[in-house]
Structure 1
Amino acid sequence: MIKREGFWFCFDDKLCKTCKAKCCIGEGYVFLTDDDIKGLSAFLGVSKDEFLDKYTRRVFGKIALIDLVIKNQKRCVFLDDDYRCEVYPQRPSQCRNFPFWERLKSFSIDELKTLCPAIKPCK
């Protein structure tokens, strides 16, 4: 069970593999930092420019990963057919920090569970 100071909920990472990557499917954006771009391009063995051209777009003036639509389902470009992250060891900081995002502190447990069944109240 993962806990973070300042959050009333915890994350049971043992359940992460059972939900078919709910956090990587649907509406939303994965915004990238400069370090994310550098790390991902190196991990994929492509230049920064090639990475930006192939895998990203501009949203609200920021760089975000593109989405793919597969079987009417919007999903992260790096989510494979088995619902596994193809860049997991070098995943973006936004992904590494999920579900410990400031804006989620005000969500109810029911709202959080719709995002991720591995989120539980801390004891």
Structure 2
Amino acid sequence: MCQKHLGFNYCFDDSYCKICKGYCCKGEGYVFLEQSDIESIAIYLNLEIEQFIQIYTRKFYDKIVLANVKINGEYTCCFLNDGLCEIYPSRPSQCKTFPFWDSMKNLSIEELKQLCPAIKK
């Protein structure tokens, strides 16, 4: 089903996330974590919050972000495994709201499709 959000001229079919091999999880950038994200992912992974933070996050200035790993010269999210998100049911808020970010509102459909093939006009 193609989800649409007010103010955006495209829709997004999240069923594609199961087969896309992580387009949005690769490349340079950061996934900023809110406290609720940290707690939710730690519970999902059956870890104490401090364990989760130590193993899977990094500091970016005063923010906590998911760690990236470099594979074949390309940065990917530490939870992307064989093209699938290992924490999809508990993924961070930033991931849940993709591709409906204000920074993407003015991109052309061609630019958007390069970022995510599940975006449709």
- TM-score scaled by length of structure 1: 0.91
Cα distance between partner residues in 2 of 1:2 and 1:115? 17
The Cα of 1:120 is off from its aligned counterpart by 1.4
Amino acid at match of 1:93: S
1:50 match: secondary structure: helix
Query: Identity of counterpart residues, as a percentage?
Result: 50
Q: What CA distance in whole angstroms lies between the structure 2 residues aligned with 1:65 and 1:114?
A: 23
Cα RMSD for the two superposed structures: 1.2
Distance change in 2, residues 1:19/1:34 (3 Å): same
Give, as a single letter, the amino acid of the residue that structure 2 aligns with 1:22.
Y
1:66 aligns with 2:52: no
Question: Offset of 1:106 from its aligned partner?
Answer: 1.4
Shift of 1:102: 1.1
Name the structure 1 match of 2:105.
105
Q: What amino acid is the match of 2:12?
A: F
The amino acid that maps onto 2:79 is F
Structure 2 counterpart of 1:6: 7
Shift of 1:17: 3.3
Residue 107 (structure 2) pairs with residue 96 (structure 1): no
Match of 1:19 in 2: 20
Length-normalised TM-score, structure 2: 0.93
Please state how far the C-alpha of 1:52 moved relative to its aligned partner.
Answer: 0.7
Q: Unmatched 5+ residue regions in structure 1? A: none
- Amino acid paired to 2:85: C
Cα distance change, pair 14–45 in 1 and its aligned pair in 2 (3 A): closer
Deviates more, 1:53-62 or 1:21-30: 53-62
Taking the aligned partners of 1:91 and 1:119, their CA distance within structure 2 comes to 19
Q: Which residue of 2 aligns with 1:77?
A: 78
| SS of match in other structure, 2:84 | coil
1:78 is aligned with what amino acid? F
- Matched residue pairs, number? 120
